[in-house]
């Protein structure tokens, strides 16, 4: 993006204190870790302030000084905290090098409107930092699980060996356990059996109903919609309780079929929502044209309508699949030990015998959800393209 505001170099008394303040903050952390917070604060401020001054006013070339920052702080980190210190030091060094030049050259103003006051500029960046922190909050738990699953110990936390990046700190033993342990394998098999069956049920019923719902003249549309969406809204524990009572009355409790039916019911709202959303953009004259050319309703559905709404149907199906694949409350009550699914096994694992195999399973599931997310995103784009809602 072209700059909105012409940029100019800033005076020393502007950027050196800022870098020093950040240095003081970093120094405070390092200082408390080493025993004296106050000393760290002073050293951090003086050191970083001086480095910023030297880099911009004495050496005056950007690239070498940035590398200098990185190497210097990395070495400092190595001395204080070993290998993990080295990594953190290097990251800090890179950050401070970037910060110094970013402030010195006035690049931070580049993309902002020229009329903003300094206070507004400061708020702009503070706001971004806050948002960044929230994004970190969103993603950290998922990222933390992954390296921990390669732990060679039966711990739920980073061992010193892992932090020193030693090979013996890491192993695939939790994955091996997942692949060889009968409990986990049974659970995986059950999940793989139940989820597709439930998905198939909810997709076939759901698509038909969505097509019915999207026609112009449906009596009681609102009420029907409210009923069909309700499995998503009613708390799972209530659905689970009701299904437990009712299914044990009619002999479905503790059977595969019962679990499949229950999961299909839970997946239906997702199919309805995605498919009706796709049908909103569907051009009805296409079906009329097909009928006009002599196609019967079934042919029209499979040859004209279905290919066009297929992306919506598939993403609804994926939602239904993930609902069933992730579901634990209902299967906990409707199923019996023979229908133990993967989430159920994880749930008991978390509650009773805490084994890090859960983390290996979690990592596998995260990978799976990344794949699903990518698929849904691609389908959505394709659907919009098919319906002519966005170019490309």
141 sits near another protein (criterion: CB under 8 A): yes
278 sits near another protein (criterion: CB under 8 A): no
Residues with Cβ within 8 Å of residue 354, at least 6 apart in sequence: 156
Least spacing, CB of residue 334 vs another protein, in Å: 9
Least spacing, CB of residue 157 vs another protein, in Å: 6
140 sits near another protein (criterion: CB under 8 A): yes
How far the first Cα of the chain sits from its last, in Å, is 22
DSSP state, residue 108: G
Least spacing, CB of residue 232 vs another protein, in Å: 8
> With CB under 8 A as the contact rule, which of the stretches 14-22, 67-75, 154-162, 179-187 interacts with another protein?
154-162
118 sits near another protein (criterion: CB under 8 A): no
Which one of residues 59, 373, 378, 389 is an interface residue with another protein (CB under 8 A)? 373
Residue 18 or 277 with smaller CB distance to another protein: 277
187 sits near another protein (criterion: CB under 8 A): no
Residue 44, number of CB atoms within 10 A of its CB? 23
Both tokens of residue 104?
A: 């010195």
Residue 93 or 258 with smaller CB distance to another protein: 258
- Binding to another protein (CB under 8 A) within 47-106 occurs at none
Least spacing, CB of residue 235 vs another protein, in Å: 2
298 sits near another protein (criterion: CB under 8 A): no
- Binding to another protein (CB under 8 A) within 339-368 occurs at 343, 346-347, 350-351, 358-359, 362, 365-366
Query: What's the CA gap between 311 and 165, in Å, rounded?
Result: 44
Residue 23 or 206 with smaller CB distance to another protein: 206
Residue 72 or 204 with smaller CB distance to another protein: 204
CB 72 within 8 A of CB 60: no
Residues with Cβ within 8 Å of residue 84, at least 6 apart in sequence: 163, 164
Query: What's the CA gap between 116 and 158, in Å, rounded?
Result: 45
Residue 65 or 345 with smaller CB distance to another protein: 345
Which one of residues 18, 75, 193, 236 is an interface residue with another protein (CB under 8 A)? 236
Closest Cα to residue 256, out of 313, 201, 208? 201
Both tokens of residue 178?
A: 């997942």
Least spacing, CB of residue 100 vs another protein, in Å: 24
CA distances from 163 to 66, 101, 167, 172 (A): 26, 31, 11, 17
Which one of residues 57, 61, 171, 215 is an interface residue with another protein (CB under 8 A)? 215
CB 194 within 8 A of CB 263: yes
CB 102 within 8 A of CB 108: yes
Both tokens of residue 109?
A: 């103003």
Residue 119's H or E segment, with its range, is helix 118-148
Residue 71 or 83 with smaller CB distance to another protein: 83
């Amino acid at each position: 993006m072209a700059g909105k505001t012409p940029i100019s170099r800033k005076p020393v008394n502007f950027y050196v204190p800022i870098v020093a303040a950040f240095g003081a903050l970093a120094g405070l952390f390092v200082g408390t870790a080493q025993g004296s917070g106050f000393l760290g604060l002073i050293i951090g401020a003086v050191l970083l302030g001086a480095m910023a001054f030297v880099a911009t006013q004495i050496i005056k070339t950007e690239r070498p000084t940035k590398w200098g920052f990185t190497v210097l702080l990395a070495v400092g980190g190595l001395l204080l905290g070993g290998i993990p210190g080295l990594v953190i030091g290097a990251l800090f060094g890179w950050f401070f090098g970037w910060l110094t030049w970013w402030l010195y050259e006035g690049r931070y103003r580049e993309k902002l409107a020229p009329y903003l006051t300094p206070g507004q500029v400061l708020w702009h960046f503070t706001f971004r930092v806050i948002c960044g922190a929230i994004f970190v909050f969103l993603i950290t738990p998922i990222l933390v699980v992954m390296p921990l699953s390669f732990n060679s110990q039966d711990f739920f936390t980073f061992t010193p060996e892992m932090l020193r990046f030693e090979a013996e700190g890491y192993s695939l033993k939790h994955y091996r356990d997942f692949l060889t342990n009968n409990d986990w394998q049974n659970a995986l098999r059950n999940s793989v059996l139940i989820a597709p069956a439930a998905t198939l049920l909810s997709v076939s019923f759901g698509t038909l109903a969505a097509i019915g719902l999207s026609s112009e003249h449906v009596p009681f549309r609102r009420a029907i919609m409210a009923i069909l969406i309700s499995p998503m809204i009613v708390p799972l524990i209530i659905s689970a309780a009701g299904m437990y009572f009712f299914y044990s009355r009619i002999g479905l409790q503790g059977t595969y079929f019962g679990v499949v039916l229950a999961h299909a019911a839970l997946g239906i709202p997702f199919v309805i929502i995605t498919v009706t959303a796709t049908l909103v953009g569907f051009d009805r004259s296409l079906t009329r044209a097909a009928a006009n050319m002599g196609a019967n309703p079934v042919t029209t559905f499979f040859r004209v309508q279905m290919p066009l709404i297929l992306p919506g149907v598939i993403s609804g199906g994926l939602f239904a699949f993930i609902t069933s694949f992730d579901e634990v409350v209902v299967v906990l009550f409707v199923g019996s030990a023979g229908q133990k699914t993967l989430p159920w096994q994880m749930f008991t694992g978390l509650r009773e015998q805490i084994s890090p195999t859960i983390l290996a399973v979690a990592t596998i599931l995260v990978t799976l959800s990344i794949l699903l997310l990518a698929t849904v995103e691609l389908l959505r784009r394709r659907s919009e393209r098919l319906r002519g809602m966005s170019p490309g």
